[in-house]
Amino acid sequence: MSQQHNSDDDFPASKMERSKIFAKTGLKVGKNYAKYLADRVTGRGGDAEERKRDLNTKNAEDLFREFTRLRGTALKMAQSMSMDTGMMPDEFMEVMAEAQYNVPPMNRALVRKRIRDALGKMPELLFDTFESEALAAASIGQVHRARLSDGRDVAVKVQYPNVRETIESDLTVARTLFGRLVRGGSIDSHFNEVRDRLREETDYVNEADNIDFFAEQYDQDEIVVPRAVRDYSTETVLTMTYVEGQHLKEFLQNNPDQAARNHFGQLLWDFLHEQVASNHRTLHADAHPGNFLFRDDGRLGVIDFGCVKTFPQDFRDDMLRLYRARMADDDQNIERLLHQLDILHDDLSDAVRNEIRAFFDQYGSLIVEPYRTPTFDFGDPEFSQRLHDCFQEASRLREVVGSPHFIFLNKALVGLLNLLTQLEPVIDTTHSVELLNDELETLGETPVPSCSASN
């Protein structure tokens, strides 16, 4: 856990303070580019690919450092954009992943003030116990453990000051900055998508609604979801029942046997597919290790329901059709659906078009590979390497392509694959194929052949 700050002045809440940090970051990125271009002309600093990787890493580190100070919209936007395959270089995904664990928390006085302003009383008057040191500090808020007078253990999420008020100004400035880092194309629709989700994520009443929805849909024998405590929740403070469990890093440090790895990997895999196949089309889109808990009773804890995405019906259905076309190696329908999903455009040059099509053929084939056999081993190092190479290849695309709805689908999908390749389970894919086939049949599409029949 990072050290507590000693002064409220360390938190840049005003528009002017935040604009200065953005400007400073832009200067750093510009300086990095100038050095890269000078080295390219003189031939210093290794080969071209190595220089570009160094540039990307340096830019990502500078962005991470300053956006971590900003927290809020800036950091959340950086995380979301870096998870969008093809939007940002691969090095950004690696650096920005650290933001989930290394955000400096608010000092104790500011936490107490935020709770008093939201709930009318200081935390010691609201809760039987309240731990002043944060359990976790992330991009939009931080979490403290507490206990209610009725004996329930709860987690209290406290939002950083002025987060919602800075969304528009942060995104306006960040739009210019990130426009220098992405590879061509228009990113306005992607920024609009991030902005819309941020507006939802910074409303803790909305997150309480999400918690209730997921608890009703998925809290059962194998999945544990907290419950919102409405009397102790507002738009900026969210109190929910506390869910015990270990995060992935702690779980793996205890050297779990293969059976335990397989068990939790199966729960993660099936949880995603239950959501995709649901009529609600609503996805827990923040699939990073901090949001899942591995419990001693064998159940999977799922927490943090701020980043939830409900997909339009046509987008969800076209993704199912694309899955089916990939499984059937149906090139004609793949081509049609890549246009339908705004990945391919008629106005692209042949060279760019071929490059984009080649990448998405590679990426799509990898994504459907687990479904082609009744079981799949995510501990296969060859699969992990190909996945990593594919993400690196994504950073070389010259155009920003695809529906903006891909941002949070990719966030969930890439997050899940990251979890599974660390956990290294062998999973059974038959149930997930059945779920997707049921949805395909409702669309009037021919279902995918069973795994055993496809080999």
Which pLDDT tens digits describe the chain residue by residue (455 residues)?
333 333 344 555 555 665 565 555 554 555 554 454 455 545 555 566 666 666 666 666 666 666 655 555 555 655 554 444 444 555 555 555 555 545 667 889 999 999 999 999 999 999 999 999 999 877 788 999 999 999 999 999 999 888 887 777 777 766 666 665 555 556 778 888 888 988 999 999 999 999 999 999 999 889 999 999 999 999 999 999 999 999 999 999 999 999 999 999 999 999 999 999 999 999 999 888 889 999 999 999 999 999 999 999 999 999 999 999 999 999 999 999 999 999 998 877 888 888 889 999 999 999 999 999 999 999 999 999 998 888 777 766 656 678 899 989 988 998 899 899 999 999 999 999 999 999 999 999 999 986 654 44
Q: Are residues 96 and 51 in the same domain?
A: yes
Q: Pick the last residue of a domain from 187, 211, 243.
A: 243
Q: Measure the CA–CA gap between 159 and 114, rounded to whole angstroms.
A: 8
Q: Pick the last residue of a domain from 214, 243, 272.
A: 243
Structural domain includes residue 236: yes
Q: Are residues 96 and 118 in the same domain?
A: no
Q: Give the pLDDT of residue 240.
A: 98
Q: Are residues 348 and 263 in the same domain?
A: yes
HSE-CB at 308 with a 13 A cutoff on CA atoms is 23
CB 406 within 8 A of CB 337: no
Domains in the chain, number:
3
CB 448 within 8 A of CB 437: yes
Q: Measure the CA–CA gap between 140 and 178, rounded to whole angstroms.
A: 20
CB 311 within 8 A of CB 405: yes
Structural domain includes residue 81: yes
HSE-CB at 203 with a 13 A cutoff on CA atoms is 11
Structural domain includes residue 288: yes
- Surface-to-core class of residue 183, CB atoms within 10 Å of its CB (0-12 exposed, 13-18 middle, 19+ buried): middle
Lay out the sheet containing 292-294: strands in order across. 223-224, 300-302, 292-294
Structural domain that includes position 149: 104-137+140-162+202-243
Structural domain includes residue 1: no
Q: Are residues 302 and 219 in the same domain?
A: no
Structural domain includes residue 2: no
Q: Are residues 157 and 172 in the same domain?
A: no
Task: Specify the DSSP class assigned to residue 11.
Answer: S
Q: Are residues 133 and 266 in the same domain?
A: no
Sign, Cα dihedral of 44, 50, 52, 57: negative
Structural domain includes residue 3: no
CB 423 within 8 A of CB 378: yes
Q: Are residues 169 and 267 in the same domain?
A: no
Structural domain includes residue 55: yes
CATH of the domain at 117: 3.30.200.20
pTM of the model: 0.81
DSSP string, 103-136: PPPPPHHHHHHHHHHHHSS-HHHHSSEE-SS-SE
Q: Are residues 83 and 116 in the same domain?
A: no
Structural domain includes residue 371: yes
Q: Are residues 341 and 238 in the same domain?
A: no
Q: Are residues 194 and 238 in the same domain?
A: no
Q: Give the pLDDT of residue 87.
A: 43
Structure tokens at 235: 């738009």
- List phi, psi (to 5°) of 160: -65, 155
Q: Measure the CA–CA gap between 37 and 274, rounded to whole angstroms.
A: 48
Q: Are residues 123 and 168 in the same domain?
A: no
Q: Are residues 329 and 347 in the same domain?
A: yes
Cα 64 to chain centroid distance, Å, stands at 16
- CA nearest 241: which of 152, 158, 301, 143? 152
Sign, Cα dihedral of 83, 89, 92, 97: positive
